[in-house]
Structure 1
């Protein structure tokens, strides 16, 4: 076997592979021999089919299969052993392959077009200092959170008079029947006033049980989805539901914010986890603080990735990649689409190359147990499992996590996705130890302004 790499430029190369009988014949002969022992052919006893007939019938297929196998392994091994920074997939010279005479040729030559990224190094000391924001939790955020929880766990009470935000129950009738219909639309239904057009609410607010309101339905519910929900018809039917209607009010219900008591504490954090308003506020502050920490870490991660891209120049084979994207997507994307989205695609390619280089330098490895732990946590959050001391529960979580990772229906995509997530997290955590990170206190509004400006 002969392998040669011809570099046309820093980002484009051709890999040429020449195979002789010594490379493929031993394995081809071995498979032909195996076939002769197992093939069932009319007129011959099993294992007694003449080798020449076996070769005539199956030889070409076995030869093509074996050479394709050799090529796949050879290309992959060459790229890995020579640490080529290949982007996209190697593209075979199809004209050359189509010209092969599989019946008579003994020596074969194949070539692959390679797209390469230019060489680069990662120097963390050349990156600017970055900021990790310590977002302060104030009474304002705590009070707003409690108000939202009171609304979320609200109670219902009946009212005699309609107020903004109430839900009105009653009978809806169409005043004039549509042309060709015997009767107009009629239904027992509920009108949520918070879905009504602001200028139409005055027709209902202040009305009492037993009163009848006459109105134009498309004026009260201009949004067809809201009109469908209010009338109980399908959205496509709601567009035709127009004109004058009456609504006789039979009942009015009002959301009453939940009281700040043990019932609210238990609904929010679980039974017995909080026993006083002071503990309730402290627990809420802890939750908000953790959320802020995640948002701050996300922004720092974004800043690290941005500075790595801005400070590490990498050349890519743009034309090769664009052609590869069109071909690999089998006509599902046009050249115009590829051109429009190529800049973002190129950024993602460069960033992955940089992360791979960091991982190689820092010897970052991802263990199966690390992937399992991330999956376990995902299961806990999804199903609300909080007790980590329950042995039976932990066994159940483990089983769900393993089944999720090993799900064969999606060809291992769950495992690959979580592997990449753990890999990315470990690379970024290492990067945080190599760059200068300055801590800075900030209010949430200040942090939000910074994040929105990125």
Structure 2
């Protein structure tokens, strides 16, 4: 057997395997003899048919099976000996129809495409600089949140005359295109000038205005219209009022406190304000942690300068998911796939170099944390704690064990990122909510 590699680019190569008769024939003969002992062929007692007859019947299929087995084992062993990291799976180079004569041919040549990356180097020291973001929850945000909670918990009414902040339900019509849509217009999300036309009106009133009076973002935020609908709603517009909806804000009393946080959790307005701030800070602490880690991943990726074999990977994705994805699908999703793949390679490399390992106990702890958060959002956290082990076990066994592997990977990523933050120069930066939103947009 001869195996060679032709690296025709920095990250793609062709593996050539040449088999001669000595490589496969002993195994083929042994398999045929075993078949002969068990074969049930008409005209012969079971196991008494001549090997030559068994060979005529099964010879080709046994030959193909044994050669494929030898190829798979030899290719895997050869690739394990290499210093580079193979991506995806080797792709056999398809031969022309009838290019192999299985009846008479003695030597066989097979080619496989592979994609790979050479050793990954991530320089981690104090020269590597990154930012750890911390979002500050100020009093303004707390006040806005409380007002929103009071509005959400308030009673809904349908007054006869509209006021600022109401929702006006009715039909929007464009004179030029004939476009019409029934919608609920949020007066708090349009300009004060335009909102003024909807204040002090009653049912059946017709409000006239022009599309240019509506700012771009307000079409979605206030009118809940798609880009296609906005294109149709240009020029002179009329809004025929069908109903006026108003939500009266809830009072700051025990009933309101219990509705937001549960019975007896807070017992005064002062405690309620403190609890809102604590909850907001906890939520934004999690968001800033995720943002910091994503920015750190980005910096590590840029530093490692991993060059992927894109052409090979795209072909592999199409062939590996034959019939399930198109070339257009792969092209569209490839940037996200490539980003995740590069981070996976970096994370695995750092874990190997620094002996970072995800333990079973870590997987259990992270899964419990995830399930607690899910239950907490539904208000069922405390009642489900006694059954936590059962929920964890059921989740980790789900998707034929893939959930466990995903959680194992997640734990490793957490440990790698924690190690990186301890190793590099992390500068803490406190930012406001508005600054955080700007960073997200950029």
TM range (shorter): 0.7 to 0.9
> In 2, are the aligned partners of 1:167 and 1:191 still within 8 Å (CA)?
no
Is the contact between residue 91 and residue 114 of structure 2 (CA under 8 Å) also seen in structure 1? yes
Shift of 1:378: 3.4
Give the equivalent residue in structure 1 for 2:303.
311
Distance 1:169 1:126, change over 3 A: closer
Alpha-carbon distance in 2 for matches of 1:435, 1:245? 59
Larger mean Cα displacement after TM superposition, 312-321 or 152-161: 312-321
Does residue 333 (structure 1) correspond to residue 327 (structure 2)? The answer is yes
Residue in structure 1 matching 2:257, options 265, 288, 292: 265
Is structure 2 residue 362 aligned with structure 1 residue 365?
no
CA–CA distance in 1 between the matches of 2:238 and 2:288?
53
User: How far apart are residue 402 of structure 1 and its match?
Assistant: 3.4
CA deviation vs aligned residue, 1:64-117 (integer Å, no higher than 9, x gap): 223223322332333233332223432323338963332234443323233332
Matches for 1:161-310 after TM superposition, within 5 Å: 161-166=161-166, 192-194=184-186, 205-206=199-200, 213=205, 254-310=246-302
Describe how 1:120-139 pairs up with structure 2 within 5 A.
120-125=120-125, 127-139=127-139
The answer to whether 1:444 aligns with 2:433 is yes
Aligned to 1:110: 110
- Equivalent runs, 1:419-438 vs 2, <5 Å: 419-438=408-427
Q: Residue in 2 aligned with 1:72?
A: 72
2:392 pairs with one of 373, 398, 420: 398
Q: 1:131-157 CA distances to partner (integer Å, 9 max, x unpaired)?
A: 212322222222222222222222234
Counterpart-to-counterpart distance in 2, 1:150 and 1:38:
81
Give the corresponding residue for 2:214.
none
Name the counterpart of 1:86.
Answer: 86
Kept after mapping to 2: 8 A contact 1:164/1:194: no
- In the alignment, structure 1 segments of 5+ residues that lack a partner are 173-189, 230-234
What residue number does 1:178 align with?
none
Q: Distance in 2 between matches of 1:444 and 1:329?
A: 42
Worse-superposed segment, 195-204 or 311-320: 195-204
* Distance (Å, rounded) in 2 between the aligned partners of 1:246 and 1:322: 53
Hey, what's the Cα distance between the residues in 1 that align with 2:307 and 2:224? 55
Output the aligned Cα RMSD: 4.7
Per-residue CA distance 1:253-286 (angstroms, 9 max, x = gap)? 5311222222333232233333333332232222
Whether the aligned pair in 1 keeps the contact of 2:12 and 2:116 (CA below 8 Å) is yes
Counterpart for residue 387 of structure 1: 382
After TM superposition, give the deviation of residue 205 of structure 1 in Å: 4.8
| Alignment match, 1:59 | 59
C-alpha distance 53-426 of structure 1, shift in aligned 2 (>3 A): farther
Give the SS at the match of 1:387: helix
Native 8 Å contact 1:11 1:116 kept in 2 = yes
Counterpart CA distance in 2 for 1:280 and 1:37 is 83
The CA deviation string for residues 144-195 of structure 1, in whole angstroms up to 9 with x for no partner, is 222222222222345443435556899x9xxxxxxxxxxxxxxxxx974538
CA apart distance, 1:361: 0.6
Contact 2:126–2:425 under 8 Å retained in 1 = no
Preserved CA contact (<8 Å) 1:154 1:256: yes
Offset of residue 124 of structure 1: 0.6
| Residue-pair matches, total | 416
The 3-state SS of whatever aligns with 2:115 is strand
Shift of 1:28: 4.2
Task: Report the 3-state secondary structure (helix = DSSP H, G, I; strand = E; otherwise coil) of the residue aligned with 1:95.
Answer: coil
Displacement of 1:418: 3.7
Q: Secondary structure at the match of 2:5?
A: strand
Q: Provide the C-alpha distance between the structure 2 equivalents of 1:444 and 1:403, rounded to a whole number of angstroms.
A: 39
User: Residue 140 and residue 82 in structure 1: after superposition, are their counterparts in 2 closer, same or farther (change >3 A)?
Assistant: same
User: Who is 1:148 aligned against?
Assistant: 148
Give me the whole-angstrom Cα distance separating, in 2, the residues matched to 1:257 and 1:46: 89
In 2: Cα distance, 1:118 partner to 1:263 partner: 63
Contact 2:84 2:118 in 1 (8 A): no
- Tell me, in whole angstroms, the C-alpha distance in 1 between the residues paired with 2:204 and 2:435: 51
**Structure 2: stretches of 5+ with no match in the other structure:** 172-181, 212-218
